[in-house]
Amino acid sequence: MKRSRALLALMPAALIAGLLTSCSPGNTSAVEGVECAPAGSTSKSLDFEGELGAADLKLTTKTPVQKAAKLEVSRLIQGDGAQLKQDDKVNAQLSLFNGTSGELLSSDQAVLELSDTKMLPWALEAVACSSVGDRVAAAAPVADVLGDNADQYKLKPEETLVIVFDLISVEPGMPENMLKKAEGEAQKPVAGLPTVELAANGEPTITIPEGVAAPDKLTVETLIKGEGEKVQEGDRVYVNYRGVIWRTGQDFDSSWSRGTPIDFTTDGVIGGFSKALVGQTVGSQVISIVPAEDGGYGASQLQAMGHEPDDVMVFVLDILATTRAK
C-alpha cells in the first residue's frame, strides 16, 4: 500500500498577516496522557506563504530564525473543524524547514494516528490540541526531533528545525455494521494458485504451491463470495489482509497480526489492491497475486523494502465494509 506514515519515519492563497493568530493550538488535549507544547517567541515569529495543504510552502520569516531551546508550537491558521481526539487518523501535509537557511527540506502527505503508540512524543505534543483545518507551526532543536538522523539533512544538533502541520481532514471511524471476517459462499479453488486455510476467527494461512512459478501478470480470484454491497471506484474500503512473498512463502505484512482492520480508498493504493477490490462485494475474500511491475510497487521500491526486485506478492483480503466516495 502507498500510504505515508511520515511521523513514524520522520527522524524524516497567500497568507494574510491579520489572520495569523500566533497562539497555542488549544489548552486541552483530547489525547490520553498528552500535554500540548506551549507557544514560544520562535514559533510565534513564523510566517509562511502558501495555502493550507500546499506542498511548496515558503518560510517568509527572516532567517536564521530565533533558536528554540525546546519544542514550541503556534497555530497560524485556525480551522473550523472538530477538535482532534484520541486515535483520530488525520490527513496532513508536513513541511520541514531548516531554521538557519529557511530551506524546505521535505514536504510529505501523511496520515497521523493520534496515539502514543503511533506517533513520536514531540509530534503528539505539537498537534494534540489542534482542530481540523489548523496550520500548526513547531520549532524545536534539531537534536530533539531528528536525533541521530540530523546528518541526513546536513543539520547540526543545536540548530532549530521548523515543522509545519497542515491538518486537513480526519478519516472516518470504522462502520458500526462492519463484519469481523469474510462471510459468504466458498468458491472452487483455482489450480496452481496458493491455498488458503482459515482459523476460527477468519485469519488466513497462505501456502505457496511447490514447484510452481508465480504468475507474471496481476491475478485476482474470489475465494469467498459475499452478499453485501458492491465496492465502487473511489470507495473507502475496510479490510483485513495478509501478504506473503511467493518466493519464500514468508509473511511481510498483516493487519491480522496488528489486531485491527485497515481502511483506505480504492484510488489511493497500489493496483494489486484496487483492482482486487473494485467490483467485489462486502463479505468476500479475494486473493491477489501481484508482480512488481503489474499492480505492485515496482522493482526499486521492492528492493528498498528488503525484497528481491522481481518478487511477487500474494495478498488475501477480507472485505468487511465499504462506504461511498463523497
Residues of the chain with CATH 3.10.50.40: 6-170, 185-323
In CATH, the architecture of 6-170 is: Roll (3.10)
Phi/psi class of residue 50: alpha, beta or left (left: φ > 0; alpha: ψ in -120 to 50)?
left
Cα–Cα distance between 127 and 116 in angstroms, integer?
12
Give me 213's grid cell. Answer: 512459478
Cα–Cα distance between 59 and 214 in angstroms, integer?
50
pLDDT digits (tens, 9 = 90+) for 214-235: 999 999 999 999 999 999 999 9
Mean of per-residue pLDDT scores for the chain? 88
Q: Which residues contact 188 (CB under 8 A, 6 or more apart)?
A: none
Judged against a pLDDT cut of 90, whether residue 206 lies above it is answered with yes
Cα–Cα distance between 129 and 111 in angstroms, integer?
17
Among residues 112, 110, 104, 50, the alpha carbon closest in space to that of 76 is found at 50
Residues found in the chain = 326
Q: Which residues contact 259 (CB under 8 A, 6 or more apart)?
A: none
pLDDT digits (tens, 9 = 90+) for 155-197: 999 999 999 999 999 877 778 889 999 999 999 999 999 999 9
Amino acid 14: pLDDT: 24
What is the CATH code of the structural domain delimited by 185-323? 3.10.50.40
Q: Do 29 and 5 contact (CB within 8 A), yes or no? A: no
Amino acid 21: pLDDT: 33
- Lowest-confidence range among 114-118, 209-213, 288-292? 114-118
